[in-house]
Structure 1
Amino acid sequence: MAAAMSPFLDALLQISRGLSAEDLDALRFLAGVKKKKLEQLRSGTDLFRHLMEQNQISEDDTTLLRGLLQQIHRQDLVFILDRVERNGPGPDAELPDAEEREKLDITFRVLHEKLGKDWKMFARRIGLTEPKLDHIREKHPYNLEEQVMEALKEWRKIHKKDANVSDLIKALRDCRLNHTADLVEKELKTNEN
């Protein structure tokens, strides 16, 4: 019996399948692939394998891949990466139930787009430490949206199956980010229907 593919490798496969030929050409160029290596990298999977061999991407560091996908304006593919990073590599027993995971996905998407410069106050409220915040700022120094997403992923890793949307909404309200909390609740309601 074959071993199950890791969630990270599965995400890379999904991303590869979502790439057009033009996307792949742009990614190879942006990744700085040497001319003689270009012919060998005929698919997204080949490119990702190459980047992993060069230690440029890994399950623990998707910064380069995320940046490349954003540069070619493929946020839909970035969300695949986000989903696997939020849920982590652990077994399903460590995850919230499917309904709560869907709500978390929606909440993360709204916060990713709307939280902005208040992300540090919010991150402290949800329990992230100053060293963790410093690490997030260093990892994504000029990208507020990525800092927000990284903070949310860290929170998700800490809380595992106990992660829930109501805690995030309460933290938003505690930080007086009521408009953002309202947007989350509105989006959740819209997706219930």
Structure 2
Amino acid sequence: MDKSRFRAMLLAISDKLDEDHLKKLKFLCQEDIGRKKLEKINKGIDVFECLIERAKIGPDNTDVLRRLLDDIGQKVLVDIIDNYERHATGSPAEIPDAKEQEKINIATEVMVVQLGRRWTLVGRKLGLTTTKLEGIKEKHHNDLEEQVRELVREWMKMQKNKARVQELIQALRACMLNLTADLVEKKLKEIGTL
């Protein structure tokens, strides 16, 4: 993946961290970076730089960064990582257009709230292998929400530019998760994208 694009993504995240979130981030990174070094840091980008130096994060490794943002209550900033990874995984011809991505993001957020452990059923309907599903479970061991997000990311990697929100809705209905499918459609109608 592109290093300059990765650094631009880190800068975008850093710019959105307020003083309180930076303090929490530094607290969580004490083991990896060290208290003395962290005392001199007053920007998120400097924390990220230290994590890069220690090979905790990198262009192909955003798991620690995702977990840190989640732990400091900044799940919203995880979208910046998702956007980076979607664009870094292929050329524009291999990813859905911006409008379809927005619909998929909305569907994902509804699914995150609604699915719980039933996400594996939906994963099978979407064509993910048992090995891939087990890998997602292992990668995000105690985080059902992140498992659902990872499921959608993996499905999008498989589908590339053919990924459509309608396919997610059909998979939900095929798994008898009609309430979740209805909520996705309702949310899409509310913002006028369905």
User: Match for 2:24: what amino acid?
Assistant: A
By how many angstroms is 1:60 displaced? 3.0
| Structure 2: gaps of 5 or more residues | none
Contact 2:172 2:181 survives alignment (8 Å) = yes
Alignment of 1:162 with 2:162, yes or no, is: yes
Aligned to 2:14: 16
Counterpart-to-counterpart distance in 1, 2:156 and 2:77: 20
User: Match for 2:85: what amino acid?
Assistant: E
Counterpart-to-counterpart distance in 2, 1:52 and 1:114: 35
RMSD: 1.9
Counterpart-to-counterpart distance in 2, 1:78 and 1:97: 20
Further displaced range: 139-148 or 55-64: 55-64
Q: TM-score, normalised by structure 2?
A: 0.89
Counterpart-to-counterpart distance in 2, 1:87 and 1:120: 25
SS in 1 for 2:191: helix
Contact 1:96 1:161 survives alignment (8 Å) = yes
Matches for 1:14-53 after TM superposition, within 5 Å: 14-32=12-30, 33-53=33-53
User: Match for 1:12: what amino acid?
Assistant: L
Cα shift readout 1:24-57 (whole Å, capped 9, x = no counterpart): 1210110223023114533111111211221212
Further displaced range: 74-83 or 146-155: 74-83
Aligned residues: 190
Matches for 1:68-147 after TM superposition, within 5 Å: 68-147=68-147
Aligned CA distance change for structure 1 residues 150 and 35 (closer, same or farther; 3 Å): same
Alignment of 1:191 with 2:188, yes or no, is: no
Counterpart-to-counterpart distance in 2, 1:183 and 1:86: 25
Cα shift readout 1:109-153 (whole Å, capped 9, x = no counterpart): 211222111001111111111111111111111111111111111
Cα shift readout 1:43-82 (whole Å, capped 9, x = no counterpart): 1111112112212122333222222112211122122223
Q: Percent identity?
A: 45
Contact 1:69 1:75 survives alignment (8 Å) = yes
Contact 1:88 1:157 survives alignment (8 Å) = no
Counterpart-to-counterpart distance in 2, 1:42 and 1:84: 25
By how many angstroms is 1:192 displaced? 0.8
User: Match for 1:44: what amino acid?
Assistant: G
